[in-house]
Amino acid sequence: MTIRLEGKGVTVTFGDMFRKVEAVKNIDVALHAGQTIGIVGESGSGKSTLARVLAGIQVPTSGEVFYEGTNIWQGKVSYPGEMRKKVQMVFQDPYGSLNPRMRVVNAVAEAVKFHQNADGEQARQIALDLLERMGIAKNDAIKLPRALSGGQRQRVSVARALSANPEVLIADEPTSAIDQSAQSQLLSLFSELIAGGLSVILVSHDLGVIRYLTDRVYVMESGDFVEAGDTAQIFEDPQMEYTQKLISSIPGHKKLKS
């Protein structure tokens, strides 16, 4: 199977000469075409930092990222030219990534203009269609981000990312801070996208969501992968105590063998 996105020896160190945080330590990760992988781990374990490196937003201290075998960094630019469309990211904090003064339909239309060969009215129509697919009707699409719920904003971010028709979607906590019904809507949306061939990297605290959507799970602790495996294996027969603890914290999950 083709490897779409691959990180090799990815390391990210934050801080200065006095205090250093090794957020990501020499990690190898590969996403195959049509695959959905989950990245799980406690808060601060480095999930978002790794996701940002794979999306070309964070420069790694060392290591490399390849999109279909091509290094994503060409000089100081990541994902140059046509490569940009291929990999899109939905951020952990969609509020922070939306312009507070721009109506959400315009925010999505702007992305449509950037990624597709569409002009004003046509781009707006494509944006409205995309938002509708995400369950955001026109009367909400014309609102400012602050007038939407957290779940709606998260779906606006997904719509904006999808406007590029990406091959890979990197979603950082897409279901956090939203209620059960918004969550199940987003889940069925993701299932549809995955069935349509999208490859996905899903970062989530919600192990129920990870179990439902992914094929393979990477378990992260203090910047390192401590365990990786097929989703069924990770949930049914986790090898590491750290993973067992993460899984046993799922509400309603049966007690694991001791």
Ligand X SMILES: Nc1ncnc2c1ncn2[C@@H]1O[C@H](COP(=O)(O)OP(=O)(O)OP(=O)(O)O)[C@@H](O)[C@H]1O
Of the two residues 41 and 60, which places its CB atom closer to ligand X in the complex?
41
Q: Between residue 124 and residue 163, which ones bind ligand X under the rule CB under 6 A?
A: none
175 binds ligand X (CB under 6 A): no
21 binds, among ligand X, Mg ion, none (CB under 5 to 8 A by kind): ligand X
186 neighbors 155 (Cβ within 8 angstroms):
yes
**Which residue from 5, 27, 35, 49 is in contact with ligand X, where contact means CB under 6 A?**
49
48 binds ligand X (CB under 6 A): yes
45 binds ligand X (CB under 6 A): yes
**Which residue from 48, 78, 214, 243 is in contact with Mg ion, where contact means CB under 5 A?**
48
44 binds, among Mg ion, ligand X, none (CB under 5 to 8 A by kind): ligand X
Taking the complex as a whole, how short is the minimal distance between the CB of residue 17 and ligand X, in angstroms?
14
Taking the complex as a whole, how short is the minimal distance between the CB of residue 55 and ligand X, in angstroms?
13
Q: 208-245 burial, b if ≥16 CB within 10 A, otherwise e?
A: ebbbebbebbbbbbbbebbbbbebeebbeebeeebbbe
